[in-house]
Each structure stands twice: as structure tokens, then as C-alpha cells.
Amino acid sequence: MSEFPFMSNLSAHNGSQSIENSENQKEEQELNNETTTTRISYIPSSTEAQLINDCIKGKRQAQRTLYEQFAPKMYAIAMRYAKTTLEADDILQESFINVFKHIESFTQDCPIEFWIRKIVVNQALKTGRSKYDKAFKEEVSDINYNSEENIILDHFDLEEILQIIRRLPDGFQQIFNLYAIEGYKHKEIAELLGISVGTSKSQYARARAQLQEMLLKEDKSYEQLRKQ
């Protein structure tokens, strides 16, 4: 049993909270657009500061409040890196265990959501590293990919797109998430994963090309069903 018993598997509630609605996705994009300057000058609200301080003191109610406030959004992030809901549950639980174990080191110079999000992404990468390390050993310089070709999203909702992303090979899935969704630069991804910048770029280009192909196939299937 977890040392934090209030943690529940969010996959059980996935029907009501889904992978995140469009409003939450908009909030995530706004978070990604925050500048370093904004983070440095960040001053937490008195409510947030009190919640953090109570968590540092090990107060269970504060830990529960923090978990319930951020777990749904962090579960959505975990699901982007996982192949199954069980894997996402494990990522989420390990992430919040690390949050509570290391919250005393949080300097409160940015929203705590940023800090938790980073822990979740790192845990997701750690969980999947053994599966995709091999993919990063091959660096591809010649890629048959048209960078000006737009990925067609018109016929897909958010849940469908994320399901298709999860069908990408492990290495492609991680690089695509880090670059296209989390907003990391290739240099940052290279440092994070211990690969070269060239490998990061090539893996992303191949991931995008494969995603485009998968979406086009899904789109054709959609059109065929509609004509029946």
C-alpha cells in the first residue's frame, strides 16, 4: 500500500475527467508560454504558500489537497508518455511520492504546478527509458519528410489525437511529447535524455512524419465510414 493512501488510480475516473478538456489544454499552453523572467519574479499566493508549508510539515490534509488539486492534470501528462493506464497510474504515484519527499527543496520561485509537472515528466522518462534507449542509439540524417506538410487534425478530438500519439514507437513518442507538447528545445531534450541534438531532431522529424501518416490513415477510415 502507498505511504500516501489518499492517492487513487485516476484511470478509474478517466471517463469523467478524460485526458483533459480543451480548457485545461489551453491552461497548459499558457503555462508553457511563461518566460524565465516571469518565473523568477513569481510570488506565490498566501493560500499556495500555506499549502506548501503544511505539506513540508507532513500534514496529511495538505498533502491530500495538493494531490487532488493537481493529480488530474498530471495524470493527463503521464498518459501522454505511457502506453497503458496502468503505466500512467504508476508514473503518477511515483511522481507524487517524489513531490512529497522533496517538497522542502521547492524554492517557491515559480507556480508549484511547474515544479510538479517537471517531476512527472522526469518520472515518465525514467519509467520508459529502458524501452526507448535503443531507439536513440541510431542517428538518422536523411529523412524523407516534408516539413511544410501540415498534420491534419480537423476530424479528430483531443482524446483521439493523444491515443494516436501513444501508438508511436516509444522513442518517437517521448521526443514528440517533449518537443511538440512540453515545449522543450532540442538542446534541452538532448541534455535530458543523454543524446545528441542531431538525434533529437531526427527522432522528432521521424515521429512527426509517422504521426502524419497515421492521422491520414485514420482520416481516410473516417471518410469511408461516413460514406457508408
Global confidence as pTM: 0.68
Nearest to 63 by CA among 135, 129, 7: 7
Contact 31, 183 (CB under 8 A): no
| pLDDT per position as a tens digit, 3-54 | 676 776 665 545 434 434 444 454 455 455 544 444 457 888 999 999 999 9
- State how far the alpha carbon of 176 is from the alpha carbons of 21, 41, 154, 169, 182, in Å: 20, 30, 20, 11, 9
Query: Quick one: pLDDT at residue 216?
Result: 84
Domain covering 10-131 in this structure, CATH number: 1.10.1740.10
* Delimiting residues of CATH 1.10.1740.10 domain(s) in the chain: 10-131
* Delimiting residues of CATH 1.10.10.10 domain(s) in the chain: 136-227
Contact 70, 116 (CB under 8 A): yes
| pLDDT per position as a tens digit, 56-88 | 999 999 999 999 999 999 999 999 988 889 999
Long-range pairs, 197-201, Cβ under 8 A, ≥24? 198/139, 198/141, 199/136, 199/138, 199/139, 200/175
| pLDDT per position as a tens digit, 160-206 | 878 888 888 888 889 999 998 889 999 999 998 888 999 999 999 99
CATH of 136-227, one of 3.40.50.300, 1.10.10.10, 1.20.1270.360, 3.40.190.10: 1.10.10.10
